[in-house]
Amino acid sequence: MDSWIHPGLIFIFGALLIPLLSGRLRQIYLLVLPSLAFWDVLTMTPGVYGGFNYLGFDIVLGRVDKLSLVFAHVFTLMSILGFLYGLHVKDTGQQMSACFYIGGSLGVTFAGDYLTVFIFWEMMAFGSVFLIWLRRVPASIKAGYRYLLWHIFGGLLLLAGMVLNYQQTGSMAFILIPEAGAGLAQYLILAGFALNAAVFPLHAWLPDAYPEATVTGAVFMCAYTTKTAVYVLARAFPGYEVLAIMGTAMTIYGVVYATIENDMRRILAYHIISQVGYMVAGVGIGTELALNGACAHAYAHILYKALLFMGAGAVLEMTGRSKLNELGGLYKYMPLSLIFYVVGGISISGFPLFSGFVSKSLIVAGAGEAHHTILMVLLLLASVGTFLSVGLKLPYFAWFGKDCGLTPKEPPKNMLWAMGLTSLLCLFIGVYPRALYDLLPYPVHYDPYSAYHLSETVQILLFTGLGFFLLVKKLSPEGKINLDFDFFIRGLVSGFYWFARRPLQSLDLAWGEFYRTVVLRILMALARFFAWFDRWGIDGVVDNVAYGTRGLGEKIRGVQSGNIQYYLALALVVIFAIVGVYLLT
């Protein structure tokens, strides 16, 4: 029982070796490391590990139960696929920051107290921001700073909530918070978590930053931040009405933007908001079926969203372009990438036999059974938008549509293998849903392949397709961007710049001028005074002591005549004096 090894620490300490290795050896290491972590999770038995007391706080590093295991399972599985996809990358900085990022995410997943959650939470933010910065173009540097600002803000919300919660309850334990007793402290924690889950209106960091990340970095980013947030929400806030409503709003919000955006990876990023909306809604509905759905959807979503980012990333890697209005007709040159992308696209749209079909339906059925009819219908409308934007529009305009004249090659072998394996997993989960259902926190008594559910899904998908091809001209990509809430954070940043440039800088200048004219002059006068004092005061004293000593020395020199008889006489006088004094007393 004591032999529990934290899989997050495998990544965090494993990262330190990466820059020391090179070539083939590093590639092998980058596959062995996540495989070790995956094996570690597979062989774990539920329990509480790694608990100790630090400064009076009960720290729990390893709470292993069904809820944390299902997330850790997919996090580590995804890390293998992600590193395989990025195996050709020579920039070890990216691989190291991915390790810290995944390590942070696993740290949160197994954390049993808020202090541990918070530390790993921040580690995720700082690990992931380097996946943006390391693209090394001005747009990514700026987007990275905005991303960091958002996450620091979210971290502060969480910290404030934690501290207030500790003041109220006297406990740092990270456990379920009943909705009835939740006050300001608990809602601050909720808001901190919600920011990472990209819940409207705290979502703008996601579509702002993910499209600016490196090709391989985005594949990692789309998996961990939001799904870790779904996990912590499911842990602490199941059944919160506000989450059910906000989650459903997110599903629609995401697809509306995904329908009009032009940049491939921004379409996919907006669509993450939509998909995470399903999970947040599942957590908010809070029944066993819906919570199972949230976990299952997180699991399936991580795989197919990563697959979609891999496909879009392959196009960006090989053409250097990611805007749909600059792409088109690539199917002749990158057919395998297209096929794998489409597998991701039909998985996310919930085609029967693919993973989205068996996971999304748990949440929709959960909404229906809990009599949230309006939410259920809106969730189904969002799945119309999903197929429309990610399943049809994006691949149509990137691989078909008008020919853009580019003749790229297929991406490197390791990228194709990663896409192929992920595609297989999407198909496997769709064909054999038991494999996924058995991992879920509650027993599943739901059969996705019922006749009515099949009929409903097939109708929605077929007729969405019909609608798309009728209005395909209307959907032609445009070289434009769309306003979102990042407008405000950009405004805030510009405002801060202005504040720094104008009031702060002029204050700085004025102080400089004041210093130069007034302060400097006073200092010079003072310096002159001390120079005078030094010369006439201190030097005078020191010199006089020296003169005095010299005079004394001259006087004593008179005694030192050098004649031995004087010395003997002097010695005798002294001896007699001593003996005399001794005898008299």
CB of 19 to other proteins, least distance (A): 35
380 forms part of the interface with other proteins (CB under 8 A): yes
Among 481, 523, 568, 569, binds other proteins (CB under 8 A): 481
Residue 170 and residue 183: Cα distance in Å, rounded?
15
Is 473 a binding residue for other proteins by CB under 8 A? The answer is: no
141 scored as a contact of other proteins (CB under 8 A): no
Give residue for tokens 């440039």.
501
Neighbours of 396 (CB within 10 A): 17
470/542 with CB nearer other proteins = 470
Q: Interface with other proteins includes 384 (CB under 8 A)?
A: yes
**CB 484, min distance to other proteins, A:** 8
Judged by DSSP in three states, 239 sits in coil
Binding residue for other proteins (CB under 8 A) from 286, 436, 464, 489? 464
Distance CA 45, CA 66 (A): 10
Binding of other proteins by 176 (CB under 8 A): no
Q: How many residues touch other proteins (CB under 8 A)?
A: 54
* Least distance from other proteins to the Cβ atom of residue 332, Å: 5
* Contacts with 73 (C-beta within 8 Å, 6 or more apart), sequence order: 38, 41, 42, 299, 439
Amino acid at 105: S
* SS3 category, 17: coil
Window of 107-115, 418-426, 474-482, 544-552 that interacts with other proteins by CB under 8 A: 474-482
Using CB under 8 A as the binding rule, whether residue 377 contacts other proteins is answered as yes
Q: Which is nearer to other proteins, 471 or 527 (CB)?
A: 471
For 298-316, b/e burial (b = at least 16 CB within 10 A) is bbbbbbbbbbbbbbbbbbb
Task: Tell me whether residue 171 or residue 494 sits nearer to other proteins (CB atom).
Answer: 494
Number of other residues whose CB lies within 10 A of the CB of residue 110: 28
Q: What is the 3-state secondary structure (H, E, C) of 531-574?
A: HHHHHHHHHHHHHHHHHHHHHHHHHHHHHCCCCHHHHHHHHHHH
User: Taking contact as CB under 8 A, which single stretch among the options 218-226, 276-284, 465-473, 571-579 is the one that binds other proteins?
Assistant: 465-473
- When asked if residue 160 is in the footprint of other proteins (CB under 8 A), the reply is no
Beta strand residue intervals within 287-439, DSSP E? none
Distances (CA, A) of 334 to 312, 313, 341, 344: 11, 12, 11, 16
Nearest approach, Cβ of residue 321 and other proteins (Å): 14
CB of 285 to other proteins, least distance (A): 13
The reply to whether 452 sits near other proteins by the rule CB under 8 A is yes
**Cα 571 versus chain centre, distance:** 91
3-state SS string for 85-131? HCCCCCCHHHHHHHHHHHHHHHHHHHCCEHHHHHHHHHHHHHHHHHH
Q: What is the 3-state secondary structure (H, E, C) of 156-182?
A: HHHHHHHHHHHHHHCCCECCCCCHHHC
Only one of the segments 8-16, 148-156, 310-318, 331-339 lies at the binding site for other proteins (rule: CB under 8 A); that segment is 331-339
Residue 255 contacts other proteins per CB under 8 A: yes
493 binds other proteins (CB under 8 A): no
Say whether residue 468 binds other proteins (CB under 8 A). Answer: yes
> How far apart (Å, rounded) are the C-alpha atoms in residues 422 and 278?
22
| Phi then psi dihedrals of residue 52, to 5 deg | -155, 170
581 binds other proteins (CB under 8 A): no
Q: Does 504 bind other proteins (CB under 8 A)?
A: no
Of 117 and 289, CB closest to other proteins: 289
The answer to whether residue 211 forms part of the interface with other proteins (CB under 8 A) is: no
Span near other proteins by CB under 8 A; candidates 77-85, 94-102, 220-228, 483-491: 483-491
Q: State the Cα–Cα distance between residues 277 and 32, nearest whole angstrom.
A: 34
**Which one of the spans 166-174, 235-243, 257-265, 430-438 is the region binding other proteins (CB under 8 A)?**
257-265
* 317-146-487 Cα angle (round to 5): 100
By CB under 8 A, tell whether 394 contacts other proteins.
no
Q: Which is nearer to other proteins, 85 or 468 (CB)?
A: 468
Identity of the residue numbered 172? M
Left, alpha or beta for 451 (phi > 0: left; psi -120 to 50: alpha)?
A: alpha
Q: Which of 124, 133, 131, 132 shows the shortest CA–CA distance to 151?
A: 124
Q: Does 450 bind other proteins (CB under 8 A)?
A: yes
Residue 249, interface with other proteins (CB under 8 A)? no
Q: Which one among 24, 90, 371, 555 touches other proteins, defined by CB under 8 A?
A: 371
Q: Is 137 in the site for other proteins (CB under 8 A)?
A: no
Exactly one of 458, 526, 545, 575 binds other proteins (CB under 8 A); that residue is 458
Strands (E), 116-221: none
Smallest gap from residue 365 Cβ to other proteins (A): 7
The answer to the question of residue 381 lying near other proteins (CB under 8 A) is yes
Least distance to other proteins, CB of residue 387, Å: 8
What DSSP string runs through 276-292? HHHHHHHHHH-SHHHHH
Strand bridging mode 57-64 / 47-54: antiparallel
Counting contacts by CB under 8 A, is residue 459 touching other proteins? yes
Q: Which of 331, 396, 428, 442 binds other proteins (CB under 8 A)?
A: 331
* Residue whose CB is less far from other proteins, 65 or 456: 456
**Nearest residue (CB) to other proteins, 223 versus 310:** 310
- Nearer Cβ to other proteins (89/213): 213
Name the 3-class secondary structure at 378: helix
| Residue whose tokens read 């978590």 | 193
> Taking CB under 8 A as the rule, does residue 479 contact other proteins?
yes
Pick one of 58, 91, 288, 369: the residue that binds other proteins (CB under 8 A). Answer: 369
Least separation in angstroms between residue 463's CB and other proteins is 4
Give the residue from 133, 271, 274 showing the smallest Cα distance to 213: 133
Note whether 288 binds other proteins by CB under 8 A. Answer: no
Q: What is the CB neighbour count within 10 angstroms for residue 472? A: 14
Q: Residue 194's Cα: distance from chain center in Å?
A: 14
Instruction: Tell whether residue 475 is a contact of other proteins (CB under 8 A).
Output: yes
Half-sphere exposure of 204 (CA within 13 A, CB side): 15
Residue 403 interacting with other proteins (CB under 8 A): no
Distance CA 474, CA 378 (A): 23
Q: Which residues bind other proteins (CB under 8 A)?
A: 255-257, 259-260, 331-333, 335-336, 338-339, 365, 368-369, 371, 373, 376-377, 380-381, 384-385, 388, 450-456, 458-468, 470-471, 474-475, 478-484, 490
